[in-house]
Amino acid sequence: ILKKITIIFLYIFGNNLLAQIMVFENFKDKELKGWEFISDQVMGGISSGKYKLLEENDIKFLRMTGDVSLENNGGFVQVRKKFTEKIESNFKVIRLNARGNNSDYFVHLRTSFTLLPWQYYQAKFSVSDEWKFYNLDLKNFQRSGLLLPKEINPKLIKSLALVAFGREHVVKLDVANISLLD
């Protein structure tokens, strides 16, 4: 019986035990190296915001705040970081630890195929005011246009962005960790 229980345990949990985790960002540095803030002001919009590194209860995190406005054909703010090293893994999930103001936010990915500024792949997550882990499966990311491949090749990802867009709202998003899981 013990052998059967062990086999069942390994079958159910084995993939998770063997999964590899690559940390994309844990915010342990004293500065936010590689992160940049972008808003719709680059195209005439009036959305505004900022980001900063904070620490609370031994948790270091990035906080993005701002106001998204749809005026002047605008509607977004984001913080983005380029992948500085070539990804060798075929990871399947982006995991982030986040909280915020009970609102919807997005992760946008850009790849070798997203040549135009308005091209991306996106996945939505909804935060509460409590820290929670969100697992965003690459197969659930939606492409922004039909010209992009349907599936994302993780080895071709060039950047990751935390985004507030599409509706007028006040932005407050905290992200403490971003990992890539096989």
Over residues 165-181, the pLDDT tens digits come to 999 999 999 999 999 99
Task: List the chain residues with pLDDT less than 50.
Answer: 4, 6-18
Alpha-carbon distance of 142 to 163, in angstroms, equals 14
| Contact between 134 and 162 (Cβ < 8 Å) | no
Using an 8 Å Cβ cutoff, are 99 and 128 in contact? yes
Give the number of other Cβ atoms within 10 Å of residue 9's Cβ.
Answer: 11
Q: How many CB atoms are located within 10 Å of the residue 148 CB?
A: 18
Residue 82 is predicted with a pLDDT of 93
pLDDT reported for residue 99: 98
Q: What is the pLDDT of residue 54?
A: 96
Residue 135 to residue 19: CA distance in whole angstroms: 14
**Whole-number Å distance between alpha carbons of 74 and 158:** 24
Do residues 5 and 141 lie in contact, with contact meaning Cβ atoms separated by under 8 Å? no
Q: What is the pLDDT of residue 8?
A: 44
pLDDT at 2: 53
The pLDDT score that the predictor gives to residue 30 is 80
Write down the pLDDT at residue 1: 59
CA distances from 34 to 9, 79, 160, 162 (A): 41, 10, 11, 13
Name the β-bridge partners of 65. Answer: 50, 172
pTM given for the model: 0.87
Confidence at residue 18, expressed as pLDDT on a 0 to 100 scale: 47
